[in-house]
Chains A and B, each alone.
Chain A
Amino acid sequence: DAMVIQNPRYQVTQFGKPVTLSCSQTLNHNVMYWYQQKSSQAPKLLFHYYDKDFNNEADTPDNFQSRRPNTSFCFLDIRSPGLGDAAMYLCATSRALGQYNEQFFGPGTRLTVL
């Protein structure tokens, strides 16, 4: 089945130790998004890629970076995780053609920072 896959599902890192979260998709969608969702809050968009074009949200900290080496994969790098970065990180994709704006989400990676 076509889908959005996130690995790992659970990630534990230490304060200040760089961590990378992975997302892949088999939908061949043009757009890939990264959202941060803290406990009992709505998902908050960090950035997105439209093909290779990177679009950062204005309030996304510099500590968060992203890479998209090809259509299928997108990575979220947290350079120096702080305790406040503990959250669920959701990857999503959309076709982004005309009205096809529906976003498909992966299962998320829950990040714990010790």
Chain B
Amino acid sequence: AQKVTQAQTEISVVEKEDVTLDCVYETRDTTYYLFWYKQPPSGELVFLIRRNSFDEQNEISGRYSWNFQKSTSSFNFTITASQVVDSAVYFCALSAVTGRRALTFGSGTRLQVQP
């Protein structure tokens, strides 16, 4: 069975602060994908990143960076110099590579960035 845990229910920061959203997962698969999605107040889930389980290189995209640690089953997401537009609910998700490929979502972390 797959499980994704986002222990932080809600985080509030002031603009320009850095913030890290935690994600811990469980799976019996040896190969899998990890994802982060952003859900702004409008409701649409916006894809941010997909990571293969065999690629542990950290990734940076502008103000966003991701730290994948297979040894601790974590896939954390950091926003540098946060902005008000970053306010949203962020979901971490996991899927198998073969067979049932549906996403298993964590419960989400609501990020509030105050001006």
A107 is an interface residue with CB less than 8 A from chain B: yes
- Given known pairs A99-B97, A101-B50, A101-B95, the reply for A108 and B105 (CB within 8 Å) is no
B103 is an interface residue with CB less than 8 A from chain A: yes
| Contact of B91 with A42 in the complex, beta carbons under 8 Å | yes
Q: How many A-B residue pairs have CB under 8 A?
A: 52
Write the chain A residue with the least CB distance to B9: A40
B72 is an interface residue with CB less than 8 A from chain A: no
| Contact of A103 with B103 in the complex, beta carbons under 8 Å | yes
Please tell me which stretch of B14-22, B40-48, B78-86 contacts chain A, meaning at least 4 of its Cβ atoms lie within 8 angstroms of it: B40-48
Query: Closest CB-CB distance, B45 to chain A, in whole Å?
Result: 4
Interface range for B: 20 to 34
- Given known pairs A42-B108, A99-B52, the reply for A104 and B47 (CB within 8 Å) is yes
A89 to B93, CA, bound (A): 18
CB neighbours (8 Å) of A88 from chain B are 43
Write the chain A residue with the least CB distance to B92: A42
- Given known pairs A99-B97, A101-B50, the reply for A45 and B44 (CB within 8 Å) is no
A90 to B103, CA, bound (A): 13
A22 to B10, CA, bound (A): 32
A55 to B102, CA, bound (A): 10
Extra pairs beyond A41-B107, A101-B97 (17, CB < 8 Å): A33-B102, A40-B108, A41-B108, A42-B105, A42-B107, A42-B108, A43-B91, A45-B103, A57-B102, A92-B45, A99-B52, A99-B97, A101-B33, A105-B44, A105-B45, A107-B44, A108-B43
Q: What 10 pairs between A and B have smallest CB-CB spacing?
A: A42-B105, A105-B45, A107-B44, A108-B43, A45-B102, A42-B107, A102-B50, A101-B101, A43-B105, A101-B33
22 contacts between A and B (CB under 8 A): A41-B108, A42-B91, A42-B105, A43-B105, A57-B102, A88-B43, A90-B45, A92-B45, A96-B101, A99-B97, A101-B33, A101-B97, A101-B101, A102-B35, A102-B47, A102-B50, A103-B47, A104-B47, A105-B37, A105-B44, A107-B42, A107-B43
